[in-house]
Chains A and B, each alone.
Chain A
Amino acid sequence: MPVIETHDLTKQYGSGDERLVAVDGLNLRIRRGEVFGFLGPNGAGKSTTIDMLLDYARPTSGSATMLGRDVHEASESLRHQVGVLPEGLGLYDRLPGRRHLDFAIEWKDADDDPDDVLDRVGLSTADAARTVGEYSKGMQQRLALGMALVGDPDLLVLDEPSSGLDPLGIRRMRNVVREEAASGTTVFFSSHVLGQVEAVCDRVGILSDGRLVAVDDVETLRETVGSGSELRLRLADEVPTDVADLEGVESVETAGSLLRVTTSTPRTKALVVAHLVNAGVEVLDVDSEEPSLEDVFAAYTTDRTSPGAEGDSSTEREVVA
């Protein structure tokens, strides 16, 4: 049984010419115990989807279940088992951080130790004694994450959990996600910052204009877009013309003394550098990059029919199939 399942989930605002389809026939299946990254640019429909899962918003058509139960019919009982970090949430400015956790524990009938929760999300006892009105955005986000963890949920739904967090906070959030996943919790979280989810996700779904354009594990997606790595070199001399003939080199671009080489395997990069050095070319700087989810993302969310768009549509079909 999938932990989250949607059937042609659709949300439409307005009608006629004003019609805006925020989520368009979404079919998602999230497996038990996985960490699923729900990716897409701002406005793709991620939050609308999550709002429907949490019963904050009602679908125009289609349906959704969490833990096998209808998200609307069973919304109250589901919230005993689901930890939620919604987007656009507002904590109570006049209440101390600790009071928020007390409420979360009380409302969930949980027996968590507030100090443990604070510790996990990186808030000190002194922080917890201050009112939330004095918190930075990052501290509020940490507290909200802590509130979501209360009651040992079977499923965590986190909407843009890294927003407002500093790099340290982001790392801590990732660790929390890993710990939860290790203890058997399914984690569903959205983000538009791809680098931050790459490290923790088992699978990724990419949403664009309310439609799911790709679902796969991170590794496969990366391969689909291109297994090649990119090598960037700054040379002291003229760029030799024979680099493109080397085995494993897919393309070569030059701009003045800059050389950009795309290779099919990471190993080819070393061959390119060795070749240049052997040919007596002085290499001033070397920079290399693995394809990131950013590239995957760009490949799937760019309108392919527009001039200048890279990639071809056959790739998309392969992944979706």
Chain B
Amino acid sequence: MTATWVGLARKDFADAVRSKMLWAFIGVFVAFVLMSLPVAAQLFPDAVTVTPAKAMAGVAMLAQLFVPGIALVAGYMAVVGERRSGSLRVLLSYPFSRKDVVAGKLAGRLLVTVTALGVGYAVASVLVAVLYGVPDASAFAGFVGAGVLLGLTFTGLAVGGSAAATSRGRAMTLTIGSFAGMVFFWKPLAAGLYYAVTGSLPGLEAERWYFALKRLNPLEAFRVLASTALDETVTAVPEFPVEDLPASATPEQLELANRLGGEVPFYLEAWFSVVVLLAWGVVPILLGYWRFERADL
């Protein structure tokens, strides 16, 4: 073994196992699944018969907070932690490039996230089957796939922020701060912008760009993917009633094609949300690496 990013990734994963970080994430995610699934019926405002798809939609609703949370905590110290502790100086006194460091850290943390989510979703699949019946295979695959993709995206965002940051505080602002912005401010800001441009809040029918702007939020992209796979609405948490929608609006009226009053452009189709999620993982990594490559350590 020479000094390569693969060696670093392996070391990083081994460190995560040794430091119990991996076990903590698995524990948190499994606990989350165990707590949310049996009470899935309570996650819906009305009394409903909980089908497997509905149960999974409930899990997905909570997963939009839990999965990024785990991924961010797993990743935000990846590079800046070694930078602050001085161990980066040890690594870079061997024939590693800075690219090796970022790639190795990214791979190591992706593996941590995927392992934690893999165990969690395995437990979830058993629970869904036992409690609510065997789910449709493709719905289940979409449900797991969307969750894992969300985890990978936020791990990329976290490691990218970690590479760009010079301190732990800066890394937290860049990563966990971004996440808070997506959860709390994205939709109100999008609606606010819509109001500023058109003079009214987005109603049942609205301009294309408003929907596009909303879907650029990786959390919205995840909801779109999970909703499409399960054929059940995965609601945002928290839900901001910033759109001017009549209370009597039917689910049919709320469908995107109807709200657009015409053809759905490609960037508003469900598959495009995969691109959005990937971009939110890849772009921060590239920017973070770009900063890291030029930084004085």
Q: In the assembly, what is the distance between CA of A245 and CA of B26, in Å?
A: 87
Name B1-39 residues within 8 Å CB distance of A: 1-3, 7, 11, 15, 18-19
Taking a contact as CB atoms closer than 8 A, the residue among B85, B86, B94 that contacts A107 in the complex is B94
Question: Distance (Å) between the CB of B225 and the closest chain A CB?
Answer: 38
B87 touches A104 (CB 8 A): no
Question: Distance (Å) between the CB of B40 and the closest chain A CB?
Answer: 40
When C-beta atoms are compared, the residue in chain B nearest to A88 turns out to be B86
Q: In the assembly, what is the distance between CA of A92 and CA of B92, in Å?
A: 14
When C-beta atoms are compared, the residue in chain B nearest to A85 turns out to be B93
B89 touches A88 (CB 8 A): yes
> What 0/1 readout, one digit per residue, does chain A (82-95) give for beta carbons within 8 Å of chain B?
00111011111010
Check A304 for interface membership: any CB of B closer than 8 A.
no
B92 touches A56 (CB 8 A): yes
When C-beta atoms are compared, the residue in chain A nearest to B100 turns out to be A76
When C-beta atoms are compared, the residue in chain B nearest to A84 turns out to be B93
Check B119 for interface membership: any CB of A closer than 8 A.
no
Set of chain B residues within 8 Å of A103, measured between Cβ atoms: 11, 94
> What 0/1 readout, one digit per residue, does chain B (95-106) give for beta carbons within 8 Å of chain A?
111000000000
B87 touches A92 (CB 8 A): yes
> Is the contact region of chain B dominated by helix, strand, or loop, or is it mixed?
loop
Set of chain A residues within 8 Å of B18, measured between Cβ atoms: 94
Set of chain A residues within 8 Å of B95, measured between Cβ atoms: 76-77, 79-80, 107-108
Q: Which of B3, B92, B95, B294 has the most CB of A within 10 A?
A: B95
B85 touches A90 (CB 8 A): yes
- Known A-B contacts A88-B86, A89-B86, A94-B19; the reply to A109 vs B2 at CB < 8 A is yes
> What 0/1 readout, one digit per residue, does chain B (58-88) give for beta carbons within 8 Å of chain A?
0000000000000000000000000001110
Check B296 for interface membership: any CB of A closer than 8 A.
yes
Set of chain B residues within 8 Å of A106, measured between Cβ atoms: 1-2, 7
Set of chain B residues within 8 Å of A277, measured between Cβ atoms: none
Q: Tally inter-chain residue pairs, CB-CB below 8 A.
A: 72
B297 touches A107 (CB 8 A): no
Q: In the assembly, what is the distance between CA of A90 and CA of B83, in Å?
A: 9
Check B90 for interface membership: any CB of A closer than 8 A.
yes
B90 touches A76 (CB 8 A): no
Question: Distance (Å) between the CB of A91 and the closest chain B CB?
Answer: 6
Set of chain B residues within 8 Å of A147, measured between Cβ atoms: 90, 93
Set of chain B residues within 8 Å of A8, measured between Cβ atoms: none
Set of chain B residues within 8 Å of A90, measured between Cβ atoms: 85-87, 89-90
Set of chain A residues within 8 Å of B97, measured between Cβ atoms: 75-76
Taking a contact as CB atoms closer than 8 A, the residue among A58, A77, A86, A92 that contacts B93 in the complex is A86
Q: In the assembly, what is the distance between CA of A58 and CA of B93, in Å?
A: 15
When C-beta atoms are compared, the residue in chain B nearest to A90 turns out to be B86
Q: Which of B2, B3, B97, B294 has the most CB of A within 10 A?
A: B3
- Known A-B contacts A56-B297, A58-B296; the reply to A107 vs B89 at CB < 8 A is no
28 contacts between A and B (CB under 8 A): A57-B297, A58-B296, A75-B97, A76-B3, A76-B95, A76-B97, A79-B92, A79-B95, A79-B96, A84-B93, A88-B89, A89-B86, A90-B86, A90-B90, A92-B15, A94-B15, A94-B18, A94-B19, A106-B7, A107-B7, A107-B95, A107-B96, A108-B3, A108-B95, A144-B90, A147-B90, A147-B93, A148-B93
Binding site for A on B (CB under 8 A): 1-3, 7, 11, 15, 18-19, 85-87, 89-90, 92-97, 294, 296-297
Q: 4 closest pairs, A vs B, by CB? A: A90-B86, A84-B93, A107-B94, A57-B296
